[in-house]
Structure 1
Amino acid sequence: MLTTEQSLSQQAASILFNSSNTRATNVFARSSSTEKSPNPRFSRFEELLATTEMPPSGPEYYAARRKLWLKPGWEGTPKPRPHSNSRQKLEAILNQTNALYDDNAWKKIDRVWKNLANGTRLSERLPMGLIIKIVHAAWVRDHTWPAGFEAPEPDDVAPPEDDTVSDLQLNSLQGDGCVDSMK
Structure 2
Amino acid sequence: MSSFEDRLAQADLPPPGPAHFAARRALWCTPTGQTPNRTEPLFHPHLEELLHRSDIYENEKVWEAGIGQVWNGLIKGARLRKRLPLSTVVLKVLQCGWVRDGTWPKGATVPESDDEHEDWTIDGVPRGPSLMSTATSDCVSGKSSPWSTEGRNDAFQSFALRDARSSRGMIHHPES
Please indicate the TM-score interval, normalised by the length of the shorter structure: 0.3 to 0.5
Compare relative contact order (CA 8 Å, sep 6+) and give the higher one, 1 or 2.
2
Relative to its length, the structure with more helix (as a share) is 1
Q: Rg: which structure is higher? A: 1
TM-score, normalised to structure 1, is 0.39
TM-score, normalised to structure 2, is 0.41
